Amino acid sequence: MIDIWGRPTSSCTQRVLWACSELDLEYNLTLASATMGPKGHISKGHAPYGIVDTPAYQVMNPNSTVPLIKDGGFILWESNAIVTYLAMKYGAGALYQNDSQMLSRSIAWMAWTNEHLEPSLHTFVMELVRLAEELRSPDTVEPARTEIENWLKVLDKHLENQLYVCGDTFTLGDITTGVSVYRAHLFDACPSRLSNITKWQKKLSERNGFSHHVAPREFHLG
């Protein structure tokens, strides 16, 4: 049994839960967050799930962030590292075909998501949904939308002649990238003209892990 700390509204936690689903791994999820709770963001006066600011948690993760896993005696934080670990330990064949080059390409797209797509997407989510209105900066929304669209054009071109981000086989790279692109779609930041992304997202939506841990709109719009 893998212990996971996180929250279902965290795209990073969604990555880990989706990976567990793909690998049929049993887990125990403890709700944890410094900024979000069952009713929303702390800037609106809502109580967070907490836990991440406790000394016991900070021993495991000095960053006080989610997600975090404990697998036996092994503790790991950072969602891309966690997904990679789970794939290597429990699903090398399932999530990267036991191929070091495919694993490396997957990690490249996972890093691409974090470094290029996520910063502007985070701005979008905070400004449109999560922050209290008096704390929002409306002038940042359209520049963020433009940045998101520009990077999605890169992905759409990449998907022109292949089904998934690493070729014609689903890999862990599709998990990280797929979660963030789906969120961009929900926030109307993924133009319909990017038809290759549309086809790819349709294929991802057919997977159980996506359906359970990513697809529910309330996990993104609240």
Write the pLDDT tens digit of every residue in 92-116. 899 999 999 999 999 999 999 999 9
CA nearest 102: which of 159, 160, 166?
166
User: What are the sequence ranges of the domains in the chain?
Assistant: 2-94, 97-214
- Domain 2-94 coded CATH 3.30.540.10: no
Q: Which CATH topology does 97-214 take?
A: Glutathione S-transferase Yfyf (Class Pi); Chain A, domain 2 (1.20.1050)
- What is the distance between the alpha carbons of residues 89 and 96, in angstroms, rounded to a whole number? 12
Under DSSP, is residue 76 helix (H, G, I), strand (E, B) or coil? strand
- What is the distance between the alpha carbons of residues 178 and 149, in angstroms, rounded to a whole number? 15
Average pLDDT over residues 5-15: 97
User: Of 129 and 102, which is predicted with more confidence?
Assistant: 102
The pTM is what? 0.96
